[in-house]
Amino acid sequence: MAWVLDHLDLVWSLTLTHVGLCVPPIVLGFVISVPLGYWASRSSAARSVLLTAGNIAYTIPGIALVVLVPVVLGLPILNPLNVVVALLLYAVAIMVRSAADAFASVAAEVRQSATAQGFAATQLFWRVELPLAGPVLLAGVRVVSVSTISLATVAALVGIPSLGSFFTDGFQRNFAVETLTGLVAVLVVAAVFDLILGGLGRLLMPWNRRRRLSSSAAKALSQPIPTTGRF
Amino acid sequence: MHRITRRGALGAAAVAAALSVGLAGCSSSSSLAGNGSSSASASGSAASGAAKTIVVGSANFGENEILGYIYGGALADKGYTVSYKPAIGARAAYLPALQSGEINLVPEYAGSLLSYLDKTANAKSGDAVKAGIDAKVGTLNAKALDFAPAADSDSLNVTAAFAKSKGLTSIADLSKAGAITLAANPEFATRPDGIKGLQSVYGLKNITFKAINDGGGPTTLKALLANQVQVADIYSTTPSIQQNKLVTLTDPKNLFASQQVVPIVSTSKATSDLDTIVNGVSAKLTTADLLDLNTKASGSSKPDYQALATAWLKSKGL
Amino acid sequence: MLFVQAIQWILDGSHWSVVNFQAGIAQELADHLWISFVAVVFTAAVALPIGLFIGHTGKGRAGAVVIANVARAVPTLGLLSVLLVMWLAFPPTVLVFVLLGVPPLLAGAYAGLESIDRQTIDAARAVGMTERQILFQVELPLAAPLILGGLRSSTLQIIASVALVSNFGINSLGDFILGGLAANDFVQMTAGAILVTVLALLVDGVLAVLQRLAAPRGVSRGRGPSTARVRRLPVAPRGAPIPEGK
């Protein structure tokens, strides 16, 4: 415990570094996945191609991806952008599926009646489909957020600092307190992000109060979701 | 062919730089992980005007990290702006980073550095190693400064019981030990002075390799003591060798060359001022110091590497 | 090209017996599969009973969701580091991957049972089936595809993540990735990544076939878990796998 108290500044700075690695993939992953998911919900061919690609993408071991990204992009090996790109790929792989399910959950009857009321295609998307898809989209982002935060720790294996540095350093020094510190910090960051996302959801979707978990959400839960410290 | 293209498209580099600056904005400098990424150095342009800005890198084991903080600390005392990228990984990871200018200074070990630079090198004496390094180190856009008296070489260790039962004193004796497994960092498999050297220099064909990525640290030791491996590569300045009464096999054919500590600096950063400061530090660094630093680092209080480095500098009046 | 070279590396017969004086592909593959297999078996032993209990009784669902999500947030690298600093080798390793595998299978099990039309179960009860009979003769067969879908997710993740143990001196296909990293050998590293990916997809393919076979006749087979049809009701699904406030 004394060690932790002596190193609060280190915990804090690594936490910020870690957050810096995680926010871009979570945000960009969402932005990229929404149109892709929408497309997948409209075309079964697109759906099967995108979801299969996503499935394969998240089977690639994370560390291999982190090391191969600089080779492919021609970036310096210690550039944190490598980790960001790798995390982004995983984020999109998960999020496209959620987005596709989200838009598919908007009932055809609802779309038809909106069209009948004279909504143009863009209006239909922004004012009907997106809001109705919102809850499932949010669910997807929350999963992406948790897994990205957990996954970013492997950056430490390739010399890019993150909360995972506590794991590699603690392991090398045979120091359980340090690894546990990293572990707890990751969990706390994940929980804070989840609270923020939940809050955002309530703010943006005030109509979506407590309701029983729908079957689509139940299915989303049982979908393969890349988790945690993917190598 | 499959080397990293370090100077990629300008656009990519610009995006990279912009993003890494953004990320760096989130992180203040710290001891363990240093500065996440420091300004323009990440984009590969080391030759910027700020020659007094130095990024110190290190390999992923404690002693090397401490050495990085020692050199960095001395430079910071003399007015340099120093940031750290500690624990980057193996030689094959941090030397390319030096070459590209992502880091500017890294503490090296002479013999292993030479065999990395020149796969056919067989220089063993200090002077010959120095000449060999000087001839090749330019390919890294860097130069080698003075060797420190301190040396930390790879050393092959066995438990006392195993040494006794098989009658082992030197590496050559391993030929009579039957089928054995040797643990070391993953790069030992491909290093010229690793398994390949054991085969070609000592003619040992009975060794299976087991990579354990902790630089001869606690897990390697556990595996050795549990007889999961019979031989372990543990750096010679590691206190666990004495603490566990391990037998270090002698190296009569000098497979492991002179492994004096030698700081390597980007040529773009190496001014006579910097060279003087760094050489002044190296001159006072002894093998006993390394053993002492490693003993303290592995002690139960787990002191910070940077604090150890600062204390050492102070004790030497630097 | 890197990818082609990596394929050639894998097809090189000598790499199946020895790679850089270390265990070759055959040995690493066997060790990788063994750790994965043991982890999947223990995952099933933990997750199935709990998932079936929750799905059948409807009790404890909120708790399970919270636990599953917390488990999801635990970084495997960190947990491995912690456990291996304290003990060495096999048992803690497997434990880590069980933790990784439980959430998807647990979710698959209770979601599978919950997806069954309540009228079907009421009918079973009306014809006098006992709770045990309902569970094993009605719910389990009907839920089998979703349960196997969960098992697929668990297995996929376990196989992809087991590569991590190589960092701690335990054999797995990750040795090729880490060895390649340490030696700046991108071909070997890519080969390692391909091996892990292909292994995971192959095992997943086998389970996908099982999943298809498991769908009882007379029940819509769907088109695998990826085409989960969503209820066509004008109800905005709440849809948060992570409950508010966590």
> Kindly report the CA angle at C215 between C209 and C219, in degrees rounded to 5?
145
Q: Report if residue C185 sits inside a domain.
A: yes
The subunits that touch chain B, with at least 3 C-beta pairs less than 8 Å apart, are A, C
More confidently predicted of C244 and B208 = B208
- pLDDT tops 50 at residue B74: yes
Residues of chain C positioned with their CB less than 8 A from the CB of B220:
169
Residues of chain A positioned with their CB less than 8 A from the CB of B37:
78-80
CB contact under 8 A, C150 and A222: yes
Q: Report if residue C246 sits inside a domain.
A: no
Q: Which residue of C has its CA nearest to B185?
A: C182
Residue A24 pLDDT: 96
Q: Per the structure block, which two tokens stand in for C63? A: 């708790």
| Diameter over CA atoms, chain C | 68
Residue C205 pLDDT: 87
What is the band of A188 on the pLDDT scale with cuts at 50, 70, 90? very high
Q: How far apart are CA A156 and CA A158, in angstroms?
A: 5
What is the band of B150 on the pLDDT scale with cuts at 50, 70, 90? very high
Parallel/antiparallel/unpaired status of strands B261-266 and B247-248: unpaired
What is the band of B187 on the pLDDT scale with cuts at 50, 70, 90? confident
First to last CA, chain A: 29
**Domain residue limits at C150:** 2-9+23-218
- pLDDT tops 60 at residue B11: no
Residue B51 pLDDT: 63
- pLDDT tops 80 at residue A201: yes
Q: Which residue of C has its CA nearest to B207?
A: C21
Shortest Cα distance, chain B CAs vs residue C42, angstroms: 25
E strands in B16-166? 53-57, 81-85, 105-109, 142-144, 156-158
What Rg value do the Cα atoms of chain A yield, rounded? 20
Does A14 lie at the interface with B, CB-CB under 8 angstroms?
A: yes
Q: How far apart are CA B105 and CA B69, in angstroms?
A: 11
3-class secondary-structure state, position B262: strand
What is the per-residue DSSP string for A156-182?
A: GGGT--STTHHHHHHHHTT-HHHHHHH
Residues of chain C positioned with their CB less than 8 A from the CB of B112:
none
**Mutation for testing the C interface, residue in A22, A83, A222 having most C CBs under 10 Å:** A222
Residue A156 pLDDT: 86
A105: nearest CB among C110, C237, C246: C237
Residue C226 pLDDT: 37
Phi/psi at B207 (5° precision)? -110, 125
Q: Report if residue C236 sits inside a domain.
A: no
What is the per-residue DSSP string for B230-244?
A: SEEE--TT-THHHHT
Q: Which residue of C has its CA nearest to A130?
A: C236
Most confident of B184-193, B288-297, C55-64: B288-297
CB contact under 8 A, C182 and B187: yes
Instruction: Judge contact between C19 and C171, C-beta under 8 A.
Output: no
Q: How far apart are CA B66 and CA B86, in angstroms?
A: 9
Instruction: Judge contact between A156 and A167, C-beta under 8 A.
Output: yes
How many distinct structural domains can be found in chain C? Answer: 1
Residue B56 pLDDT: 96
What is the band of A68 on the pLDDT scale with cuts at 50, 70, 90? confident
> From its phi and psi, is residue C98 left (phi > 0), alpha (psi between -120 and 50) or beta?
alpha
Q: Is C246 exposed, middle or buried (0-12, 13-18, 19+ CB in 10 A)?
A: middle
Size of interface B-C (CB pairs under 8 A): 77
Q: How far apart are CA C4 and CA B311, in angstroms?
A: 52
Q: What is the mean pLDDT of residues C147-169?
A: 86
CB contact under 8 A, B23 and A20: yes
B26: nearest CB among A16, A79, A157: A16
Question: What counts of helices (H) and strands (E) characterise chain C?
Answer: 11, 2
Shortest Cα distance, chain C CAs vs residue B190, angstroms: 6
Does B160 lie at the interface with C, CB-CB under 8 angstroms?
A: no
CB contact under 8 A, B212 and C169: yes
Please state, as a whole number, how many other Cβ atoms lie within 10 Å of the Cβ of residue C125: 14
- pLDDT tops 90 at residue B107: yes
pLDDT in tens, B214-264: 878 888 888 899 898 999 999 888 988 988 999 999 988 888 877 899 999
**Mutation for testing the C interface, residue in B1, B4, B187 having most C CBs under 10 Å:** B187
Instruction: Judge contact between C157 and C108, C-beta under 8 A.
Output: no
Does C4 lie at the interface with B, CB-CB under 8 angstroms?
A: no
CATH number, domain containing residue C201 = 1.10.3720.10
**Mutation for testing the A interface, residue in B29, B30, B38, B103 having most A CBs under 10 Å:** B30
Residue B17 pLDDT: 41
Residue C238 pLDDT: 32
What is the band of B50 on the pLDDT scale with cuts at 50, 70, 90? low
**H or E stretch covering B139:** none
Shortest Cα distance, chain A CAs vs residue C115, angstroms: 7
Q: How far apart are CA B154 and CA B232, in angstroms?
A: 10
Q: How far apart are CA A172 and CA B219, in angstroms?
A: 8
- pLDDT tops 90 at residue A136: no
Residue C144 pLDDT: 85
Mean of per-residue pLDDT scores for chain C: 79
Q: What is the mean pLDDT of residues B277-294?
A: 93
pLDDT in tens, C177-220: 888 888 778 888 889 988 998 898 899 889 888 888 877 766 65
Q: How far apart are CA C139 and CA C56, in angstroms?
A: 8
Least confident of A143-147, B149-153, B269-273, C213-217: C213-217
CB contact under 8 A, B218 and C85: yes
Residue B162 pLDDT: 94
> Whole-structure pTM over 0.80, yes or no?
no
Q: Which residue of B has its CA nearest to A174?
A: B218
Residues of chain C positioned with their CB less than 8 A from the CB of B179:
none
CB contact under 8 A, B219 and C168: yes
pLDDT in tens, A105-121: 888 888 889 889 888 88
- pLDDT tops 60 at residue B26: no
Residue of C89, A170, C188, A64 lying closest to B214 (CA atoms): A170
Q: Report if residue C241 sits inside a domain.
A: no
Residue of B54, B20, B67, B13 lying closest to B39 (CA atoms): B20
Residue B143 pLDDT: 93
Shortest Cα distance, chain B CAs vs residue A190, angstroms: 18
Residue C164 pLDDT: 84
Residue B7 pLDDT: 36
The helix-helix angle for B305-315 and B62-77 (nearest 10°) equals 50
**Boundaries of every domain in chain A:** 2-107+133-222
Q: How far apart are CA A61 and CA C191, in angstroms?
A: 11
Residue A64 pLDDT: 75
Domains along the sequence of chain B with CATH: 24-152+258-315 (3.40.190.10), 156-248 (3.40.190.120)
Q: Across-strand partners of B105?
A: B56, B265
Distances (CA, A) of B32 to A211, B253, B309, C71: 46, 38, 13, 27
Please state, as a whole number, how many other Cβ atoms lie within 10 Å of the Cβ of residue B160: 11
Order of strands, sheet of B207-211, starting from the edge strand that comes earlier in the sequence: B207-211, B180-184, B231-233, B156-158, B247-248
Q: Which residue of A has its CA nearest to C239?
A: A217
Instruction: Judge contact between B78 and B277, C-beta under 8 A.
Output: yes
Q: How far apart are CA C104 and CA B139, in angstroms?
A: 51
Q: Per the structure block, which two tokens stand in for C30? A: 């066997």
Instruction: Judge contact between A93 and A57, C-beta under 8 A.
Output: yes
Residues of chain A positioned with their CB less than 8 A from the CB of B93:
77, 158-159
Does B13 lie at the interface with C, CB-CB under 8 angstroms?
A: no
CA atoms lying within 13 Å on the CB side of residue B165: 8
Q: Which residue of C has its CA nearest to A105?
A: C230
Share of chain A above pLDDT 70, in %: 90
More confidently predicted of C241 and C152 = C152
Residue C19 pLDDT: 83
> Kindly report the CA angle at B185 between B180 and B186, in degrees rounded to 5?
90
Residues of chain B positioned with their CB less than 8 A from the CB of A173:
62, 217-218, 297-298, 302
ipTM of the shown complex = 0.73
| Residue B258, C-beta contacts closer than 8 angstroms, at least 6 positions apart | B110, B111, B124, B125, B126, B129, B151, B153
pLDDT in tens, C13-61: 888 888 877 888 999 999 999 999 999 999 999 999 998 888 888 888 7
DSSP letter, residue B48: S
DSSP letter, residue C217: T
Architecture of domain A2-107+133-222: Orthogonal Bundle (1.10)
Phi/psi at C168 (5° precision)? -110, 20
Q: How far apart are CA B186 and CA C128, in angstroms?
A: 64
Q: Which residue of B has its CA nearest to C164?
A: B213
Phi/psi at B59 (5° precision)? -75, 170
Shortest Cα distance, chain C CAs vs residue B22, angstroms: 25
- pLDDT tops 50 at residue C145: yes
Instruction: Judge contact between B131 and B265, C-beta under 8 A.
Output: no
What is the band of A57 on the pLDDT scale with cuts at 50, 70, 90? confident
- pLDDT tops 50 at residue A207: yes
Residue C219 pLDDT: 60
Mean of per-residue pLDDT scores for chain A: 83
Instruction: Judge contact between B141 and B268, C-beta under 8 A.
Output: yes
